[in-house]
Amino acid sequence: MKSVFFALAMTVAAVFGACSVERSTIQQTDAATPIVNLKVSEPEFLAEFHQDRKFKCKDCHSNDTGFKLDDNESTENARCIGCHGTLSQLADKEHRPISIHRSHLGEVNCTTCHHAHTSSQAYCGNCHFFQTQIPFAGAPVFHPKAEPPYDENPPVADNVDVVVIGSGGAGLTAAITARDLGASVIVLEKQPLTGGNTMLAAGGMNAANTQFQRDAGIVDSPSLMASDTLAAGANENDPALVAILAQDSAASVQWLTSLGVDLSNVGQMAGSSVRRTHRPAGGKAIGAHLVNVLREAVASRQIEVRVNSKVVRISEDPQGHVTGVHVLGKQRGLYAIQAKAVVLAAGGFSANPARVALYRPDYSSMISSNQPGATGDGLDLGDAIHAQLLALDRIQIHPTLAAGNRTLITEAVRGNGGILVNREGQRFVNEMATRAIVSASVMAQTGATAFILYDQQVRDGLSQTEGYNRLELVREGTTLAELATRLSIPRATLEATVQAYNNAYASSPNHIDPVFGRAIPRPVDRSHFYAIEIAPGIHYTMGGLKIDSQTQVISTSNAPIPGFFAVGEVTGGVHGADRLGGNSISETITFGRIAGTSAATFAAAE
Ligand code: MEZ
């Protein structure tokens, strides 16, 4: 694997090193513009590299915005693209099957990875432990322009109907919905790119009684989806929120379909009584596709999105009505936005080990599947204005992250027929039990890891598994015996395990496995056979701000906080003690639409 990415890195370096820049695309500036504090030899940062090629500061920067740089670094990114091409064009030039420029992150800002005056950083290195180098790369750098305690009265820069904090599926959905109801909206994202954890979502979106289910002959109902959700959540869920989740889910699928999201493939997930997890055709991962469509919908509505923009405070008036936010922009520094309504969609805290350890010390050394921005700052923002916080110790462990890596191996692999075996070559659990049960069982195995094993039919039906091959996570055999040898596990035991499993499928009328009670979807019998070593990791935080059915945030004195709405993983109540796979995207869309409607309606009435 390392060789692939080293080669990749070299290609990237070559693209930059050999880039014949077309000066005509660059704004020509005063030749006398001084370049300060930049060394002429041995470029350390991109600015120095460009300076050595006789570029001036103003070739990349513009001063005509009132602020030297906007937080999206729009001018600079446009200049990068003007000279080097878009990410897709760069990827095409590389002529390689894998390009770091063509990832599931989409067409993000060049400055997400390439920094001019500080060390660059490959953003994907936050999640993938592969060796990847980009020119002038180094340690991650943060650019604070202000330190806490922040100025109580920063300058007011904008006045808007609705501010949305966070740009994952929940935030973008709320923004689109509010805009469609006539509200002016600004979306703020502290990371250098939009998409949040939604960008990483794999398995799909749960919805009951959709046209896609009916077309596939699946009989489902909102009440069945609700009872599955409550059972997984050990009835700790808020039943009113669960009823909405289930009842509105089919309409949410329709809404997404109308925007251009493909949800035509319906699969089975653990804890769901029927197949109700919707994903794109061919079993493609849902997240990147969904985020790209939402990004387009946001752009076509001219909704302003500011990345590198961290909200440090939600402001209130003396009566406790929310009045806007204070924002720390990477370039602009601290400023205020006045807003009639604020929607908090800042995500959970799975990527914040200190916060996880606070509630679950036993999880403190676990890896997480989440994007680096999932640090739970939204909880602090809500807490500071007396939002009620609930169930923060309810933290979900996903049983199948690639061991020693952080890549999520989607539950859909098991849903479509994959099994789990230990180092002794034996199954040890009903693979489709809830995540808490399967994770605990994996952790009880030798080495606290196991292998997820699947056959060619699973691979063919789930195109997202191709990514695992590209990341070189997969071992492969034309026979089970060959695979066992590659995994260094006993061949005869593995063959016997799979034979017993396949026999159970064939001999039981309902295809029920007599040992662990799994409803077996199909035998594991199509060569080739594949396996990935997996380990459990922190995946989702069920707790958060208490909301009502209109997504209004409820205060510690049990009253809605006027003008304050919250949605998605930053909230608590929908999932109870444990969340069903596929219910997260469902929640973000259904409650994102409600939050957008509530915020726009509130703003219009102000
Ligand atoms: O909702 C999830 O967490 C999910 C579907 C994960 C996955 O395994 O794909």
Q: What is the pLDDT of residues 18-50, one digit of tens each?
A: 333 333 333 333 333 333 344 445 678 888 889
Pairing of strands 529-541, 395-402: antiparallel
For 184-230, what is each residue's pLDDT tens digit?
A: 999 999 999 999 999 999 999 999 999 999 999 999 999 999 999 99
Listed residue (585, 576, 579) closest to 234, CA to CA: 576
Mutate to test the pocket of ligand 1, among 265, 407, 410, 540 (most ligand atoms within 8 A of CB): 410
**Token output for 238:** 């808020």
Q: How far is the CA of 495 from the centre of ligand 1 (A)?
A: 29
Q: Across residues 573-590, what is the average pLDDT?
A: 98
**Token output for 438:** 């399967």
For 219-271, what is each residue's pLDDT tens digit?
A: 999 999 999 999 999 999 999 999 999 999 999 999 999 999 999 999 999 99
Contact 157, 147 (CB under 8 A): no
- For ligand 1, is residue 412 a contact (CB within 6 Å)? yes
Task: Answer with the residue of higher pLDDT: 471 or 584.
Answer: 584
Q: How far is the CA of 581 from the centre of ligand 1 (A)?
A: 4
Q: Is the pLDDT of residue 277 over 70?
A: yes
Mutate to test the pocket of ligand 1, among 411, 439, 538, 586 (most ligand atoms within 8 A of CB): 411
Cis bond upstream, residue 144 (ω within 30): no
Q: Which helix (H) or strand (E) holds 297?
A: helix 286-300
Q: Is the pLDDT of residue 562 over 70?
A: yes
Model confidence at 9, pLDDT cuts 50, 70, 90, reads very low
Residue listed under structure tokens 């300076």: 51
Q: How far is the CA of 191 from the centre of ligand 1 (A)?
A: 22
Atom of ligand 1 nearest to the CA of 396: 3
List C-alpha distances in Å: 495 to 476, 490, 533, 601.
15, 9, 18, 61
**Token output for 450:** 């196991």
For residues 130 and 472, give the distance between their C-alpha atoms in angstroms, rounded to a whole number.
10
Decide: residue 43, CB within 10 A, 0-12 exposed, 13-18 middle, 19+ buried. Answer: middle
- Measured on CA atoms in the order 544, 548, 549, 552, is the torsion positive or negative? negative
Nearest CA owner, ligand 1 atom 9: 203
Decide: residue 495, CB within 10 A, 0-12 exposed, 13-18 middle, 19+ buried. Answer: middle
Q: How far is the CA of 366 from the centre of ligand 1 (A)?
A: 18
Q: Is the pLDDT of residue 478 over 80?
A: yes
For residues 425 and 151, give the distance between their C-alpha atoms in angstroms, rounded to a whole number.
61
**Token output for 98:** 């894998």
Q: Across residues 537-565, what is the average pLDDT?
A: 98
Write out the catalytic residue numbers: 435
Q: Across residues 125-130, what is the average pLDDT?
A: 81
- For ligand 1, is residue 198 a contact (CB within 6 Å)? no
Ramachandran quadrant class, 471 (left: phi over 0; alpha: psi -120 to 50; beta: rest) = alpha
Q: Which helix (H) or strand (E) holds 397?
A: strand 395-402
Model confidence at 67, pLDDT cuts 50, 70, 90, reads low
| 3-state secondary structure at position 197 | helix
Nearest CA owner, ligand 1 atom 3: 581
- For ligand 1, is residue 584 a contact (CB within 6 Å)? yes
Atom of ligand 1 nearest to the CA of 584: 1
Atom of ligand 1 nearest to the CA of 411: 8
- For ligand 1, is residue 410 a contact (CB within 6 Å)? yes
- For ligand 1, is residue 477 a contact (CB within 6 Å)? no
For 313-340, what is each residue's pLDDT tens digit?
A: 999 999 999 999 999 999 899 999 999 9
- For ligand 1, is residue 411 a contact (CB within 6 Å)? yes
Q: How far is the CA of 214 from the centre of ligand 1 (A)?
A: 23
**Token output for 30:** 């005063």
What is the b/e burial string over 523-558, where b = at least 16 CB atoms within 10 angstroms of the residue's CB?
A: bbbeeebbbbbbbbbbbbbbbbbbbeebbbbbbeee
Task: Answer with the residue of higher pLDDT: 11 or 78.
Answer: 78
Contact 334, 154 (CB under 8 A): yes
pLDDT of residue 342: 99
Q: How far is the CA of 365 from the centre of ligand 1 (A)?
A: 22
Q: Is the pLDDT of residue 65 over 90?
A: no
- The mean of the pLDDT values for the chain is 91
Q: Across residues 543-562, what is the average pLDDT?
A: 98
pTM: 0.92
For residues 170 and 433, give the distance between their C-alpha atoms in angstroms, rounded to a whole number.
27
Of the CA atoms within 13 Å of residue 215, those in its CB half-sphere come to: 8
